[in-house]
Structure 1
Amino acid sequence: MNQEQIDRINALYRKSKAEGLTEEEKKEQALLRKQYVADVKKNLAAQLNNIDMVNPDGSVENLGDKYGKKTGLS
């Protein structure tokens, strides 16, 4: 998601509070919000898959490798 899309989400939010949205704008807002949430989940999963944990015996274990680099968060 690029900055232009985030700015559009914010603009639609401000307009919804000030004067309300048309049906088309409500659909656009819902779609943009879904895309934003999907991107946040994707980024979080990528971060979690890159965590290394040091075990008590001193070995290093990558949690992404251990749990199969799951791509979706539910």
Structure 2
Amino acid sequence: MIPEDLAPRINELTAKSKTDEGLTKAEEAERKELRETYLALFRESFRSRVEMMQVYDKTGKEVTPDKVKKVQRDKGLRDD
């Protein structure tokens, strides 16, 4: 889960960087660290969602990709 205060702080620093004032070295380092943290959390969340999904066609037959099924079996989420 991405903390609620993370994105607003990144946006605040980005807006400041676009002004004449610019960012200090400490603020640049903070922005870089916050961005890396945000991306890591986003990727983790996205991966989890993909690993949990099941895909069905219009007739109701499961057509979940085999790669996703394997990951689900490895994590104990599937019985088949």
- Relative to the length of structure 1, the TM-score reads 0.73
Give the structure with the larger strand fraction. Answer: 1
1:25-69 CA-partner distances (Å, limit 9, x unpaired): 0000000000000011001100100111348xx467586441345
* Alignment RMSD: 2.6
- Relative to the length of structure 2, the TM-score reads 0.68
Structure 1, unmatched stretches of 5+, are: 70-74
Q: How many residues align?
A: 68
Q: 1:7 to 1:59 in 2, by over 3 A?
A: closer
Q: Structure 1 residue runs of 4+, over 3 Å off?
A: 58-65
**Identical residues among aligned pairs (%):** 30
Structure 2, unmatched stretches of 5+, are: 76-80
Aligned letter for 1:22?
A: T
